A and B are shown apart, each in its own frame.
Chain A
Amino acid sequence: MKQYIIRRVLISLIVLFGVSIMLYALVRSMPSDYVTLSTSTNPNVTEEMRNHLRELYGLDKGIFQGYLDWLVSALKGDLGDSMVMKRPVSQVIAQYAPVTFSVSAIALALQLIIAIPLGILAARKQYTKTDYIITTLVFLGLSLPSFFFAAVLKRAFGPYGLDWFPISGMLNARVNYPDGMTWAKLVDYFQHLVLPISVFVITGLGSMLRYTRTNMLEVLNADYIRTARAKGVPEHRVVYSHAFRNTLIPIVTLLGSSLPGLFSGAAITENLFGIEGLGNIGLRASQMADVPYLMGFNMLLATMTILGFLLSDILYAVVDPRVRLS
């Protein structure tokens, strides 16, 4: 097991190296750069000044030299300064990752809590009204885009509707909160999160629910389920300790691959609700060709993706006695 993990980590480093090359090449291949984009509306900026700025930002170098410079300093732990945020990338990530992470983690937890029992229910009642209602609702969530739900929820629960929840930002701007966390601040914070989290849950629920339902159906038709029924095991035990335990195996894969999502958030949804998170900043960074931020942010996601798969492979061995990692 230990050897397996060490080997996987070593392979991951090689993969990350390859990913960084491709990312850098892609980001730098944009038809414009930060200097052009940020100065294009200002007629007083001359081409000379722009070239001078490019030198300062390091954008005058070619892709190859630029990549080497980035790699050397990244290996030393310096991810460079974000052009949009005017601060070191590592600082930006450290400050905004908790926001994105907490929103996404709460949303993911809610998705699991709702999707798994409903998926099991739909599978147990296959081809009944219950099943059809659940799968139809799920289909709505899957097929309609997040901005649709965001708009509907904002209208319904925002100031022009029931006025239950704020529709934008993280904290009420009219209130002056002290720097530390207080109870009132926390409540305000969560009130702002209700609608965005709802959108996350509605749009993310579908795939997880369908996944649970499909796998549960497969397991419920397995011979060993028939055996369990023949033994006279009560139905709830048949469903939960035989069928569901075997459904956990594919669910673990799904969980592993959702790890990067916890850090990227859904950029669009964050943007729609004015949440200052990594995804929202990433959106602006890509509009402005902010090379250091995009590199730092995407490398973080790549690392999380690899970690997620490693984690699910390890969890496989935990939930399935047939799997031995070597």
Chain B
Amino acid sequence: MAEQQNVLEVVDLVKHYPIKAGVTQHVVGHVRAVDGVSFSIKPGQTFGLVGESGCGKSTIGRTLLRLTPPTSGKCIIEGKDIFAMKRKELRAMRPKMQMIFQDPYSSLDPRMSVSEIIGEAVREHNIVSKAEYRDYVLKVMQDCGLRPFQADRYPHEFSGGQRQRICIARALALNPDLIVADEPVSALDVSIQAQVINLMRDLQEQRNLSYLFISHDLSVVEYISDMVGVMYLGTLVEMGTKEELFKHAMHPYTKALLSAVPVPNPDIKMNRVILQGDLPSPANPPKGCKFHTRCPNCMEKCKTEAPVYKDYGNGHFCACHLYE
């Protein structure tokens, strides 16, 4: 396969939130929400980003699209660095990169009808001519499993699954190359989750979309992803193709996560790796390997020296002293 240009290339993304304190509100420290993350996504592929709550995966999604300003790093889409853009350029780029948010209840403007929600940005970016506009919106709705008669209804008249379809339709209407899906199904019932995930997969095949799929649900990520990255306290600890990662997990954290995935068969005995302790504060991450406070395989070296994040073959990256 010829080397294709990546849809998205993230280089050393950093996002720190200042901690302010005292009467004068001076900065006393930083929450290192994202602390140097690099990865890339090929056209038509899905990159699954997993990690527990507070590890910075949602921050990555929002920062990539500059919905929150990044601290440093690069985010290259279509050969251009999103972080270096002026506001006007950025807005012109918006249709190329869309986002689906976690909560379909709060992320739709309650005062806009569905067709307005889907069509507003279509008009704003002149995706189709005025004459085709209405048909185009209806077509996108149909592609996402919504009926034309629902076009003039308001979000509150829909169920959670339908609302997420509206969100997907909204993103899709702009013909994006990349969709950042931030926990798109975790607010939905399990039965609905499958429908929405399948819809996303079908749309990906039809339109050669790329997804950055952020989730804490490993079974969902395994189902939809081509590449998977595992995050811990703001950094990637392991990354690889789905097959590699799920079959030959290297990092103890990944192993612990994988052992926690429920298996729908009560006869299979699960060998769960139980992690001790809580997630340390990202404002004051542990020295050495960030994971050493909870790692079952912790060595002396881990407490002082940060492991190098490197390629162990087949594009399987990992940061752990066990393999050095």
Binding site for B on A (CB under 8 A): 222-224, 226-234, 237, 242, 245-246, 319-322
Binding site for A on B (CB under 8 A): 62, 65, 67, 91-95, 98-99, 101, 103, 106-113, 120-121, 124-125, 154, 156, 167, 170, 174
Residues of B within 8 A of A224 (CB): 106-110
Residues of A within 8 A of B99 (CB): 227, 230
Tell me which of A222, A229, A321, A322 has the highest count of chain B C-beta atoms within 10 A of its own C-beta: A321
**Which secondary structure characterizes the binding site on chain A?**
helix
CB proximity of B142 to chain A, nearest CB, Å:
20
CB proximity of A14 to chain B, nearest CB, Å:
33
Pair A223/B67 contact, Cβ less than 8 Å: no
Additional A-B contact list (16), CB under 8 Å, known A226-B107, A321-B110:
A223-B103, A224-B108, A224-B110, A226-B67, A227-B109, A230-B98, A231-B124, A231-B170, A232-B91, A232-B93, A232-B124, A233-B120, A233-B121, A237-B124, A246-B111, A322-B110
Residues of B within 8 A of A321 (CB): 110-111, 113, 154, 156
Partner of A322, one of B91, B107, B156: B156
CB proximity of B165 to chain A, nearest CB, Å:
15
Q: How far is the CA of A33 from the CA of B121 in the complex (A)?
A: 69
CB proximity of B68 to chain A, nearest CB, Å:
9
Residues of A within 8 A of B67 (CB): 226, 229-230
Pair B124/A242 contact, Cβ less than 8 Å: no
Closest to A237 in B: B124
Pair B156/A222 contact, Cβ less than 8 Å: no
Partner of B111, one of A229, A234, A320: A320
CB proximity of A132 to chain B, nearest CB, Å:
13
Q: How far is the CA of A130 from the CA of B109 in the complex (A)?
A: 28
Pair B94/A227 contact, Cβ less than 8 Å: no
CB proximity of A120 to chain B, nearest CB, Å:
16
Partner of B174, one of A228, A231, A242, A322: A231
CB proximity of B91 to chain A, nearest CB, Å:
5
Residues of A within 8 A of B93 (CB): 232
Residues of B within 8 A of A234 (CB): 91, 124
Q: How far is the CA of A234 from the CA of B101 in the complex (A)?
A: 20
Closest to A242 in B: B109
CB proximity of A215 to chain B, nearest CB, Å:
14
Q: How far is the CA of A171 from the CA of B284 in the complex (A)?
A: 72
Pair A222/B94 contact, Cβ less than 8 Å: no
Q: How far is the CA of A127 from the CA of B32 in the complex (A)?
A: 24
Q: Tell whether A232 pairs with B121 under 8 Å between CB atoms, given A222-B106, A223-B106, A321-B154.
A: yes
Closest to B180 in A: A230
CB proximity of A95 to chain B, nearest CB, Å:
43
Q: How far is the CA of A232 from the CA of B108 in the complex (A)?
A: 15
Tell me which of B93, B112, B113, B154 has the highest count of chain A C-beta atoms within 10 A of its own C-beta: B112
Q: How far is the CA of A233 from the CA of B120 in the complex (A)?
A: 8
Q: Tell whether A246 pairs with B107 under 8 Å between CB atoms, given A231-B94, A232-B91, A232-B121.
A: no
Q: How far is the CA of A245 from the CA of B111 in the complex (A)?
A: 8
Pair B121/A231 contact, Cβ less than 8 Å: yes
Q: How far is the CA of A9 from the CA of B91 in the complex (A)?
A: 51
